[in-house]
Amino acid sequence: MTKEKETRREFLKGAAASAGAGAVAALVPAAQAQTDSGDTASELRPTAERHGAFFNRQQALTVAAVAERIMPGAPGKPGATDADVLNYIDLALAGAYEDQQYFYRRGLDALDAYCRATHGAPFASLDADDQDATVAALEADQADGFDWPSAGAFFNTLRTHTMEGMFADPVYGGNKNFAGWNLIGFPGAQFTYTPAEVTSAEPFDRAPTIGLQSQATRRG
């Protein structure tokens, strides 16, 4: 992994630790959203196209690939793929973030068009260097072809959701096998603490409550 990607990983880990891994709003189904064009979000995407809760296959491949470049995995250091960030974002867009479905559809279409024009292939098919160059262009708001959302706005939203998928409670579908919590040394939810644990000055190292994993919804 390059120094740039390692620096990105360490920055995101630090941000997650300082913000608190549990500080994410509950992902409960939202009311039917209306897009800027006046169409309902569900009408924009036929059920037959669905690959998960919301994304079709190509969208899922793209989101998973972008998330992995934002939070890349390395030996002994889980990344977005390990934490199943895709599952988290997919479920969120079918629930609490339903009002962002049109935002994602337009952003992903613009990203695909930009990658084909610049590199001759969709994002998920590019090599790691071209993917990183594309992510850098998005972050700097310098990727051509974006109207609404802007390239920078699309990147910032996807980065935020990648962070949530890495470090939120796994009951929301991400942080698989406590990948994000293990990465930053967060002990996660505990039902009880012993008197010795409460008064101890030693680091708390008990594993998170495993039952959370069984409650998580998966894309299948």
Return d(Cα 58, Cα 113) in angstroms, integer.
13
Asked whether the beta carbons of 89 and 67 are under 8 A apart, the reply is yes
pTM over 0.85: no
Q: pLDDT tens for residues 94-136? A: 999 999 999 999 999 999 999 999 999 999 999 999 999 999 9
CB 113 within 8 A of CB 148: no
Q: Is residue 191 part of a domain?
A: yes
Q: Is residue 102 part of a domain?
A: yes
How do residues 145-201 score in pLDDT, each as one tens digit?
999 999 999 999 999 999 999 999 898 999 998 999 989 888 877 777 788 878 888
How many domains does the structure of the chain reveal?
1
The answer to the question of residue 220 being in a domain is: no
Q: What is the mean pLDDT of the chain?
A: 80
Could you give the count of Cα atoms lying within 13 Å of 28 in the half-sphere of its Cβ?
Answer: 3
Separation between Cα atoms, residue 97 and residue 144, nearest integer Å: 26
Does residue 106 lie in a domain region?
yes
Q: Return the pLDDT at 14.
A: 55
Residue ranges making up the domain that contains 105: 3-215
